[in-house]
Amino acid sequence: MIVIEHQPKRVEVTVYAEFTLADYKEFESVVNDAIRFEGPVDLLFDLREMADFTLDVAWEDIVFARAHANDFSRIAVLTDSQWVAWSAWLSQIFVRAEMRIFAEETEARAWLAEDAGAEGEAV
């Protein structure tokens, strides 16, 4: 199960229990709409409550990342799992966004806010 929040220039996703292909398709739909109307967006993935993900999700993530290599500014991943952190770093091969792994939500949000503040100053 996932919960998705869309804010200006940011999509936040929290995954609970198993991350399924249906969940991933819902995420793709929200992100595609955000990119279409806002341009590159930041992502905040909270995977601390994720118990597992299906193989089709892993494959879909690779396909999606390759199709959207330039559509993300920053990607923050919240996790306590070394395996999930390693998987996130591996997926960075396909996207040009800056990606960081965080254990603390406040640090992840602060890092994403830094980028948003810099963009506001540049305009």
Please give the domain boundaries of the chain with CATH numbers for all domains: 2-122 (3.40.50.10600)
Query: What's the whole-model pTM score?
Result: 0.84
Quote the pLDDT of residue 94: 65
| % of residues, the chain, pLDDT over 70 | 83
* CA of residue 114 relative to chain centroid, distance: 17
For Cα atoms 52, 25, 86, give the angle at the middle one, nearest 5 degrees.
Answer: 40
Taking Cα atoms as reference points, which of 71, 49, 62, 61 lies closest to residue 21? 61
What are the tens digits of pLDDT across the range 58-97?
A: 888 888 888 888 999 999 989 887 766 656 665 665 678 8
Confidence tier at 5 by pLDDT (50, 70, 90)? very high
**Is 121 a residue whose pLDDT tops 60?**
no
| Amino acid, res. 6 | H
| Beta-sheet strand order (sheet of 2-7) | 2-7, 10-19, 41-53, 72-78, 98-102
Quote the pLDDT of residue 120: 44
| % of residues, the chain, pLDDT over 90 | 54
